[in-house]
Amino acid sequence: MKILHTSDWHLGQSFMGKSRFDEHEAFLKWLLQTIELENINTLIVAGDIFDTTTPPNYALELYYNFLTKVSSFCKNIIITAGNHDSVATLKAPKQLLKALNVHVITSGDEDEDEVIAIYDDEEICGIVCAVPFLRDFVVRKSQSAQTMDDKESALSNGIKEHYKSAYKRAKELSKDVPIIATGHLTTLGSKTSESEREIYIGGTLDIDSDFFKDFDYVALGHLHINQRVKSERVRYSGSPIPLSFSESNSQKKVNIVEFIGADVKIKELDIPLFRKLLVIRGDTASVISELENVTDKESWIEIHIRDENPFHANESIRTRAKELELTLLAVKIDREQTPSSASAFNAITLNELNPLEVFERRVELEGLEDEELTKELLKSFKLIVSEVEAI
């Protein structure tokens, strides 16, 4: 049995106003070839298929075209929902996709059977506990939780129970084949990037990855950097394309997991980079000289200015980039070096900031001296954002 594990495609992402269509199309083409070449019989996509709950039509088209093609030569296909996905959008074609051997698991509630037998020819060769991103309403057992900490521990216990019961059902189905779990969550001690939203109330819920130890392999999604967590067999595949500038230096990968008898062989396979994201830091002169050395005109560029006169620096850098026909997606001003003057802030447009950054700047303008109060305000703001985004 050979599995390909990927996640966090974020189809339809609008990246500072730019479409990722070309990169996603190239990735899916590469993925089809890889699945065929590597003789993969099980494909797992561990959440965040789409970037938003209302994906644009071209993103849906990419998704369906890919599934139609891949199902003709890959026997088992398992798709689970992530925190970005809309349960309804993924669920609507569920029955139709089943005819193509595509299993779609959206919420993990009692109506959905997450325990899926996978086949090699006509024989069962493994079982996948296809656990999606577990939304609050699926796991929260205790309504009486009062404080944020109570709520967090109720959630984390609920999640652990959920995996335990899936494992038990898998064992009942077959005792002698590998059992694989999927998940869309943050585990303790993992590396994050700037493009993952906090998914549980109050921020990141730390799930200790130890509780995965019964499974033969755990295919995780949510974190965008490929990594393993504590054990060789508990891994994030990471996203196939860099979703933020903070990921520009991390090689994108898929994981290929092969079971041979009781042995498991895991290979990280590099994905080609379809568009370069460049981060350039420095004062005006050094940024401009680096821009002049950029050879790949298709690159998308983020600038961090360290300059005494950021407003002027911003103007000259943008003008030079235009002459060079380069695409600057963001010009940021390194804050430690910057007087917090209105002119510096005006140099940045709103779509170059995330909601938290906007809120932080607003709080900064208040000039609050009470550090505790500032912390509380930021925490409450994050809570509101995570609730709005979880809808």
Q: Which is nearer to Mn ion, 66 or 259 (CB)?
A: 66
Q: Which is nearer to Mn ion, 41 or 386 (CB)?
A: 386
Q: Which is nearer to Mn ion, 218 or 291 (CB)?
A: 218
| Cβ within 8 Å of residue 355, ≥6 positions away | 385
Kindly state the smallest distance separating residue 196's Cβ from Mn ion, in Å.
6
Burial label for 315, CB within 10 Å (0-12, 13-18, 19+), is middle
Kindly state the smallest distance separating residue 184's Cβ from Mn ion, in Å.
8
Q: Which is nearer to Mn ion, 48 or 247 (CB)?
A: 48
CA pseudo-torsion sign 48, 54, 58, 60: positive
Alpha helices of the chain — where are they, by DSSP H?
A: 21-37, 57-70, 87-91, 94-98, 136-139, 148-173, 284-292, 310-323, 342-346, 355-366, 371-389
Kindly state the smallest distance separating residue 280's Cβ from Mn ion, in Å.
26
Asked if 85 interacts with Mn ion (CB under 5 A), we say no
Kindly state the smallest distance separating residue 9's Cβ from Mn ion, in Å.
9
CA distance 283 to 306: 5
CB neighbourhood size of 125 (10 A):
19
**Which one of 4-12, 115-123, 209-217, 343-351 is the stretch in contact with Mn ion (CB under 5 A)?**
4-12
**To 10 degrees, the CA torsion angle through 260, 228, 86, 391?**
150
Q: Is 274 left (phi over 0), alpha (psi -120 to 50) or beta?
A: alpha
Q: Which is nearer to Mn ion, 8 or 114 (CB)?
A: 8
Tokens representing residue 80 in the block:
């689970």
Residues 5-24 that bind Mn ion (CB under 5 A): 8
Kindly state the smallest distance separating residue 349's Cβ from Mn ion, in Å.
25
Q: Calculate the CA 314 to chain-centre distance.
A: 31
Q: Which is nearer to Mn ion, 48 or 114 (CB)?
A: 48
**Which one of 3-11, 155-163, 170-178, 333-341 is the stretch in contact with Mn ion (CB under 5 A)?**
3-11
Kindly state the smallest distance separating residue 27's Cβ from Mn ion, in Å.
15
Total binding residues toward Mn ion, as defined by CB under 5 A: 2
Kindly state the smallest distance separating residue 238's Cβ from Mn ion, in Å.
10
Options 35, 48, 226, 302; binder of Mn ion; rule CB under 5 A: 48
| Cβ within 8 Å of residue 31, ≥6 positions away | 4, 6, 66, 70, 240, 254
Q: Which is nearer to Mn ion, 238 or 310 (CB)?
A: 238
* Residues of this chain that bind Mn ion (CB under 5 A): 8, 48
